[in-house]
């Protein structure tokens, strides 16, 4: 098929790679403009552009797509279809009508669950046991189009959002390959809007830890809010990011003394700080073992190194 590919982050690259491997003709790649990042705020090309340039593909990076110039350029490709994977912009109606067979989206959730910008993150945060990918027709409204195919995968007990997204990106590439191969025989099925849930854009404030929540809820947020906004609190008036944690009381935990302490300490208070044990009291009588943290202005470190360096005291409060 003659295709336009639209995508921006690393999670979109496997699908573009698969399209080329399957022998489709990619007449153009659309991606977000280069953005300043890192030390010195130098311009960095998005991963999709880097991959496309390395394969000799034509790349377009318009600042705006709701213009006559962008519309005319898109229509000039005379594509059979457009494949969209995390492009970063909602396509106007004129774009949706331009390809002969419409626009196909690879979405990293099991629609109609988790429509929106951050489906992988919210699936973990809300305690889903499984996630997946969906290929669907793109409509003017967000993530509401008819479904071509879906594939399910379990979410690991300790899996972070970046880890799950990397798996879903590969799964999505395979599913898109199958979708295009069976394009003529698949009968798209409408979504059940009554079953829809939403995955809104992540905000910095989403990462602030509420220690009155249960340890299990906080642990899911630690895994789900990576790489942004991260789960963070304060310790001695400085920001402390929690990178890895697990509810206290599992295998290997000396539960008796620490669990008893957690029951009498207020949420956010340190109930153990010795050796590898850095445990904080949470809501509902639970406690959270912090495994890997990052103090403000410092590198990520193990709880043991943090305890040895900062000497937190039982009874001190986080947050």
pLDDT, tens digit, for every residue of 270-308?
Answer: 999 999 999 999 999 999 999 999 999 999 999 999 999
pLDDT at 264 over 80: no
Q: How many domains does the chain have?
A: 2
pLDDT (0 to 100) of residue 37: 78
Q: Is residue 50 part of a domain?
A: yes
**Domain shared by 33 and 88, yes or no:** yes
Q: Domain range holding 163?
A: 2-199
Question: Whole-prediction pTM value?
Answer: 0.94
Tell me how far apart the alpha carbons of residues 232 and 215 are, in angstroms, rounded to a whole number: 14
pLDDT at 219 over 90: yes
Exposure string of 2-34, with b = 16+ CB inside 10 Å and e = fewer, is ebbbbbbbbbbbbbbebbbeeebebbbbbbbee
- Write down which residue in 178, 199, 220 finishes a domain: 199
**Domain shared by 116 and 235, yes or no:** no
- Mean pLDDT within 47-72: 97
Look up residue 66 and give its two tokens: 């709701």
User: pLDDT class for 251, splitting at 50, 70, 90?
Assistant: low
**Domain shared by 54 and 115, yes or no:** yes
**Domain shared by 224 and 283, yes or no:** yes
Q: For residue 110, give the CATH number of its domain.
A: 3.40.50.170
**Domain shared by 244 and 122, yes or no:** no
- Write down which residue in 151, 176, 199 finishes a domain: 199
pLDDT, tens digit, for every residue of 98-152?
Answer: 999 999 999 999 999 999 999 999 999 999 999 999 999 999 999 999 999 999 9
**Domain shared by 139 and 288, yes or no:** no
**Domain shared by 253 and 153, yes or no:** no
**Domain shared by 56 and 41, yes or no:** yes
Tell me how far apart the alpha carbons of residues 128 and 124 are, in angstroms, rounded to a whole number: 6
Residue-by-residue DSSP string for 80-142: SEEEEES-SSPPPHHHHHSSTT-EEEEESS-TTTTEES-HHHHHHHTT-SEEEEEEEE--SST
- Write down which residue in 199, 215, 230 finishes a domain: 199
Q: Is there a contact between 44 and 9 (Cβ–Cβ < 8 Å)?
A: no
């Amino acid at each position: 098929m003659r295709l336009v590919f639209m995508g921006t982050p690393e999670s979109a690259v496997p699908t573009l790679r698969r399209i080329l491997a399957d022998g489709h003709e990619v007449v153009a790649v659309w991606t977000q403009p280069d953005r300043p990042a890192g030390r010195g705020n130098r311009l960095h090309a998005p991963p999709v552009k880097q991959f496309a340039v390395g394969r000799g593909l034509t790349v377009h990076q318009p600042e705006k797509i709701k213009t006559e110039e962008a519309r005319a350029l898109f229509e000039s490709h005379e594509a059979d279809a457009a494949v969209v994977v995390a492009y970063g912009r909602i396509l106007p109606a004129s774009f949706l009508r331009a390809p002969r067979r419409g626009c196909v989206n690879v979405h990293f959730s099991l629609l109609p669950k988790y429509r929106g910008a951050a489906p992988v993150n919210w699936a973990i945060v809300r305690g889903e046991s499984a996630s997946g990918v969906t290929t669907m027709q793109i409509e003017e409204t967000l993530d509401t189009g008819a479904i071509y195919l879906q594939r399910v995968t379990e979410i690991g007990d300790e899996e972070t959002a970046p880890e799950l997204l990397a798996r879903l990106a590969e799964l999505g590439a395979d599913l898109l390959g199958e979708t295009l191969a069976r394009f003529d025989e698949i009968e798209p099925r409408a979504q059940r809007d009554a079953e829809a849930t939403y995955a809104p854009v992540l905000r910095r404030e989403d990462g602030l830890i509420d220690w009155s929540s249960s340890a299990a809820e906080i642990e899911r947020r630690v895994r789900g809010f990576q790489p942004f906004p991260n789960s963070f609190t304060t310790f001695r008036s400085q920001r402390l990011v929690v990178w890895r944690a697990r509810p206290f009381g599992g295998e290997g935990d000396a539960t008796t003394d620490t669990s008893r302490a957690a029951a009498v300490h207020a949420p956010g208070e340190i109930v153990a700080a010795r050796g590898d044990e850095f445990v904080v009291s949470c809501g509902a009588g639970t406690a959270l073992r912090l495994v890997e943290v990052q103090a403000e202005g410092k590198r990520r470190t193990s709880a043991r190194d943090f305890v040895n360096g900062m000497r937190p005291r039982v009874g001190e409060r986080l947050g």
